[in-house]
Structure formats: structure tokens, C-alpha cells
Chains A and B, each alone.
Chain A
Amino acid sequence: AQSVTQLGSHVSVSEGALVLLRCNYSSSVPPYLFWYVQYPNQGLQLLLKYTTGATLVKGINGFEAEFKKSETSFHLTKPSAHMSDAAEYFCAVRNNNNDMRFGAGTRLTVKP
């Protein structure tokens, strides 16, 4: 069965610093991987997704993620954090039944 582990329930960075949110997955089939963002009092929004092809995926708001099969990872990065990036971030994998399985989430705090 597919599963997702997000390392670090809370990450804090300074404005302008690198953002790195970690996600590791397990999957018995080639995975489809997703990152979602949830801003306060809003629903989830898709940031980016990996299906096939290029392993470095670029998403909205300057975020990108790299699929590394050898490490079973799909870490989310952004070179320079902005105050508006403060939110909850969820990694997800699509399972055998085309259903989504989510990680527990990581709260990103950006300090001025």
C-alpha cells in the first residue's frame, strides 16, 4: 500500500531563506506525487505534481520538487521564502486505486 511521510510537522525559516519541506513515500507502483498548500481558513490548493517525465517539477509561487526514485523522496523547495508562503503543506501519493494518500502535513512559518 502507498503511504507518505512528511518529516517535520513544523518548519520555521527567515524571510529570504531557503525553504525545504521533506516528503518520503512508499509505493509498489510508479508513483504519482503531489504537493498541496493550505492557507489559513482555506481549502487545499495544488502546488505541483509529478506523473511521468522530468523529475524536477516546477509549481506555482516559485516552488519546485524533485522526484528521486532511489531515495523515494519528493522534497519541496523554494530558493527564497516570502511571508506569504506561511501555510500548511501536504505531500500526497496516488495509490493503486487512484485514491490519494496524504502525509500529516508540515506547517511553514516565515519570520521577518
Chain B
Amino acid sequence: SQTIHQWPATLVQPVGSPLSLECTVEGTSNPNLYWYRQAAGRGLQLLFYSVGIGQISSEVPQNLSASRPQDRQFILSSKKLLLSDSGFYLCAWSVDQGRNTFGSGTRLTVV
């Protein structure tokens, strides 16, 4: 069966520090992968999606970047965090035209 792992669950980082959130999927091949963010008081916003290794599409300009070094690995990064990067980050995957399956999320607090 397919599973998705996202870590860490919570993270507190100082302003200006780097960020790396990792997401891996098991039990499927060539999934579409997504990173979403939910800022406080708002709904979910798509940040990046990937249809294959090394293929990243960005939905909004921001302080973040994403990479897909392997078929089932999706990494969200930042070189220097801003206070406004605080939020809840969700990784998700889908296959072909299937529905998104979500990871458990990461609560990032930038202080």
C-alpha cells in the first residue's frame, strides 16, 4: 500500500536560518508531488508541484524552493527563513488523475 512520510512534525527556526523539509512516498512510482502551505487564518496555498524527477513548477514567488532528487522524494528548502514563512506545510502525492493523499504536515514557526 502507498504511504507518505513527512518530517519533522514541528520545527522552530530563527530568522535567517536555512530550512529543509522532506517528504517521501512509498508504494508507488512516478507520483505527482505537491507542497502546500497554510498560513495562519487562511486556506491552503499550492507552493510547488512536480510531475517527475528534476521537474518543479512554482505557483507563487516566495522565499522557498523545492527539489525532487529522486522519484519519490520531494524537498522544500529555504536559504534564509523570514518571519512570514511561518505556517503549516503539507506534502501530498497523486498518481495520474488520482486524488491528493496528504502527509501529516509540518508546523514551522520562525522566531
Residues of chain A at the chain B interface (Cβ within 8 Å): 34, 36, 38, 40-46, 49, 88, 90, 92, 97-100, 102, 104-105, 107
Contacts and interface: CB of A to CB of B under 8 A. Distances in A.
B51 A44 contact: no
A88 B96 CA distance: 13
Contact of A44 (B36, B96, B98): B36
Contacts of B36: 43-44
SS of A interface (majority): strand
B68 to A, nearest CB: 15
Given A38-B100, A88-B98, A99-B105, 13 more contacts: A36-B43, A36-B44, A40-B97, A43-B34, A46-B43, A49-B43, A92-B44, A97-B88, A98-B38, A99-B88, A100-B38, A100-B90, A105-B100
Contacts, number: 56
The dominant DSSP class at the B interface is: strand
Interface of B: 32, 34, 36, 38, 40-41, 43-44, 46, 49, 51, 59, 88, 90, 94, 96-100, 102, 105, 107
A98 B43 contact: no
A36 B100 CA distance: 11
A104 B98 CA distance: 12
A36 B36 CA distance: 13
